[in-house]
Structure 1
Amino acid sequence: MSFFPTTLPALPLREAIVDPVYRAVLSFDGNDLPLFESAFFEDAAFDFNGSVMEGRAAIKSGSWDNVSKLDTTHFLSNVRINLPSEDSTTATVTASALAQHFRAGQGNQPDTTRLTSGALYSIDVAKDPADGNGLWKIKLWRMKLVWTEGDWGVMTGN
């Protein structure tokens, strides 16, 4: 059973637009594959500091598979939505992100090593025309890693 539902009932437009971003980061934190899949179009792309993963399967294998196994939390703030008009089916969400990463099972251990990061997100989202509930999903997630503090070995398994 998933800790997080993949859909929420009757979200107002702007909440529905930002919801795929929240679903995506919560899928990493909760190791929740159905939530991850609900957040991205199959042909989505993830641009991590210029290194681009093309397709949801590539994002899963290139990022989610590793990070979702860690003890992580991702916090978003300064969230803004650029919606061309109220009847638009595309929008861009920007946000600042703070992420804490610990090796699997070590998040609650005192004095354990971690990698903390600050990033800027710019995420193109669209309403899924195949979804009868009007679910919004990620088309392109651009992430600019601004700073890190701690042990990169947490991410690489070293």
Structure 2
Amino acid sequence: MTSPSPFSLPAVLNPPMTGREAVVDALYRCVMAFDTNDTALFDSSFMPDGVFEVNGRALEGLAEIHATGLALIFQLDTTHLVSNVRVHMRTGTGTPKAGPVEKEVEEKEASLTATVLSQHFAGGKGMEPGQKNLMSGSLYRAELTQDTDRLWKFSHMQIKSTWVQGDYSVVGGNFADMGQ
């Protein structure tokens, strides 16, 4: 297990976030964990039985995600830039909110899409001139649930790379072959 990075904030921020902002924060926690090798921050973004799917290769549960996905990602120097985030809150999937309006429901499920630009270098080599690297543009699609700790977490995250530029050897081969 890796130590928290000085560039990672705690999973629970103050003041607490609500609604769409809290859903999007699950994605920010996830990619910041990639870039800072912060296992605890990553775990705060995924349900224990969550599915992490990269180009059709599905990893199920945190144990497999750690052993295969994070083992690969955490050995690299990476930067993930997130844009075009859209969130769909599913109403009627939660519990009634306390307050004067009885029909209002606190959402407990959401879907998210985003575009992510990722740069990958071999671990410890990112600042060295002339190093092999791999850049990718990807689409992210995710299903999220609000956990008992009130953090939004991925139950299923799909990543589909739409283009790559550079050298696949930086990540040990084609993304679709990850861990096989």
Q: Which amino acid aligns with 2:162?
A: V
Alignment correspondent of 1:96: 115
Percent of aligned positions with the same letter in both sequences?
40
Q: CA RMSD in A?
A: 1.4
Match of 1:123 in 2: 142
Aligned to 1:8: 13
Amino acid aligned to 1:155: V
TM-score where L is the length of structure 2: 0.81
Q: Which residue of 2 aligns with 1:19?
A: 25
The equivalent position to 2:133 in structure 1, one of 114, 129, 139, is 114
Alignment size in residue pairs: 154
**Among 42, 61, 68, which residue is 2:67 paired with?**
61
Q: Which letter maps to 2:64?
A: A
**Partner AA of 1:30 in structure 2:** T
Instruction: Show the counterpart of 2:44.
Output: 38
Deviation at 1:84, TM superposition (A): 2.3
| Structure 1 counterpart of 2:133, one-letter code | R
Q: What does residue 105 of structure 1 align with?
A: 124
Q: Partner residue of 2:94? A: none
Bigger CA radius of gyration: 2
- Partner amino acid for 2:61? G
Q: Residues of 1 paired with 2:90 and 2:109: CA distance?
A: 8
Structure 2 residue 157 is the aligned partner of structure 1 residue 152? no
